[in-house]
């Protein structure tokens, strides 16, 4: 069986922050650089305040856009009163990929030990679009991209990957 050729995906990046500006958005820039260096296309980039309705507005627009294959969010996954990205995104999901959050926390433990339990990162599928909700720290974004997401969005990853399932995400 031959290995398929790399397939570039269109990925949108949303930074959620009440304090950062576009210029100060290290995590969002890291994700854009990482995905483009891997061969994917950054189709949209935005920054919104940590408000579940503002987050839902942008994410809903992107998951209804047939040109967007994947949405990455960074920020708002902690436990403080203003951290609301999981609550904003979870109701939009058709299916949650529980293994992503579990694996992320295991990998993150190597760097930040038990503080990883504060991360409410998650992943899922909505309208045939993959969504990954990541913490705001650039280290966490790097861990998620390099150790989980990038391989799963590469159709060449064996024995299986999320990219190969994309044509089947809207089956009924």
Q: Assign 123 to helix, strand or coil.
A: strand
- For the cut 80, the answer to whether the pLDDT of residue 67 exceeds it is yes
**Cut 0.85: pTM above it:** yes
In a domain, 89, yes or no: yes
In a domain, 3, yes or no: no
- For the cut 80, the answer to whether the pLDDT of residue 116 exceeds it is yes
Q: What pLDDT does 49 receive?
A: 96
Q: What pLDDT does 143 receive?
A: 97
Confidence of residue 8 (pLDDT cuts 50, 70, 90): very high
E strands, the chain, in order: 10-16, 41-48, 70-74, 95-96, 122-126, 129-134
Sign of the Cα torsion 33, 39, 40, 41 reads positive
What average pLDDT does range 149-165 have in this prediction? 96
Domain total for the chain?
A: 1
- For the cut 70, the answer to whether the pLDDT of residue 159 exceeds it is yes
- The answer to whether residues 71 and 124 touch, using CB atoms and an 8 Å cutoff, is no
CATH number at residue 160: 3.40.980.10
- The answer to whether residues 21 and 47 touch, using CB atoms and an 8 Å cutoff, is yes
- For the cut 70, the answer to whether the pLDDT of residue 168 exceeds it is yes
In a domain, 1, yes or no: no
Q: Cis omega before residue 86 (within 30°)? A: no
In a domain, 4, yes or no: no
Q: Which domain holds residue 95?
A: 10-164
Measuring CA to CA, how many Å separate 47 from each of 96, 102, 116, 120? 24, 26, 24, 19
- For the cut 70, the answer to whether the pLDDT of residue 80 exceeds it is yes
Top pLDDT among 11 and 4 is at: 11
Measuring CA to CA, how many Å separate 126 from each of 26, 65, 97, 116, 145? 27, 11, 11, 26, 20
- For the cut 70, the answer to whether the pLDDT of residue 107 exceeds it is yes
Q: What pLDDT does 141 receive?
A: 98
Q: What pLDDT does 170 receive?
A: 87
To the nearest whole number, what is the mean pLDDT of the chain? 96
In a domain, 15, yes or no: yes
In a domain, 171, yes or no: no
Q: What pLDDT does 40 receive?
A: 98
What average pLDDT does range 116-141 have in this prediction? 96
- For the cut 70, the answer to whether the pLDDT of residue 1 exceeds it is no
């Amino acid at each position: 069986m031959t290995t398929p050729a790399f397939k570039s995906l269109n990925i949108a990046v949303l930074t959620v922050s009440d304090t950062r500006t576009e210029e100060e958005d290290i995590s969002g820039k890291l994700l854009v650089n990482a995905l483009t260096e891997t061969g994917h296309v950054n189709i949209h980039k935005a920054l919104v305040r940590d408000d579940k309705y503002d987050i839902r507005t942008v994410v809903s627009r992107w998951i209804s856009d047939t040109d967007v294959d994947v949405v990455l969010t960074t920020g708002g996954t902690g436990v403080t009163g203003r951290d609301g990205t999981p609550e904003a995104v979870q109701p939009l999901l058709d299916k949650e990929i529980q293994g992503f959050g579990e694996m992320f926390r295991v990998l993150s433990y190597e760097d930040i030990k038990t503080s990883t339990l504060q991360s409410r990162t998650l992943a899922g599928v909505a309208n045939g679009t993959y969504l990954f909700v990541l913490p705001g720290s650039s280290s966490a974004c790097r861990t998620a991209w390099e150790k989980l997401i990038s391989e799963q969005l590469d159709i060449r990853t064996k024995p299986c990957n999320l990219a190969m399932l994309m044509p089947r995400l809207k089956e009924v």
